[in-house]
Amino acid sequence: MTTESQVLEAKVLTVSDGVTHGTRDDVSGRALVAQLVDAGFDVVEHRVSADGAANVAAALTEMAESFTGLIVSTGGTGFAPRDQTPEGTSAVLEREAPGLAEAMRLVSPLGRLSRGVAGIHGRTIICNTPGSPKGCVEQLGAIIDVLPHALRLLADAPVEH
């Protein structure tokens, strides 16, 4: 069980063909790790996946197995043909959390171009953020304050209502 004083765990998934092939620096993934650590999360994994729905679904399924916590992805939420992170994420979600995705999109005008989704797999909350360093940090920042409470609820831990 998770308590108020217990550190919450998080994982970060960078979805990028360029980062996978070593032609791009994973600035966004590192930015999310730093933001999560600053917010009190223990980031226990940071991995990279190539673009594409099947790749994302496989990575998220592995990352969520026997995990209680938060997974934040960066990349693959736009309009380019290989931007299929929401489709891969939706394939592994058991329940959607549309309020999180909506709040994330409202943070800036460019947020309206994000197709990211959020939801639950087992005892894990999964949230997609854009691939830009500014966009991913802004979107996670829009919901990071409610995530500890959501994770306690998901873990069936005592909470005050």
Spell out the per-residue pLDDT of the chain, length 161, in tens.
344 456 899 999 999 999 999 999 999 999 999 999 999 999 999 999 999 999 999 999 999 999 999 999 999 999 999 999 999 999 999 999 999 999 999 999 999 999 999 999 999 999 999 999 999 999 999 999 999 999 999 988 766 65
pLDDT at 157: 73
pLDDT at 7: 80
* Residue 48 Cα distances to 22, 43, 45, 120, angstroms: 11, 14, 10, 21
Is the residue at 111 inside a domain?
yes
Is the residue at 161 inside a domain?
no
pTM > 0.85: yes
Is the residue at 121 inside a domain?
yes
Is the residue at 1 inside a domain?
no
Is the residue at 88 inside a domain?
yes
Is the residue at 108 inside a domain?
yes
- Report the number of distinct structural domains present in the chain: 1
Is the residue at 2 inside a domain?
no
By residue range, what is the domain housing residue 31?
A: 8-154
CATH number at residue 18: 3.40.980.10
Token look-up 């308590």 returns 3
Is the residue at 3 inside a domain?
no
CA angle (56, 58, 62) in 5-degree steps = 115
Residues near 138 by beta carbon (within 8 Å), at least 6 away in sequence: 107, 108, 111
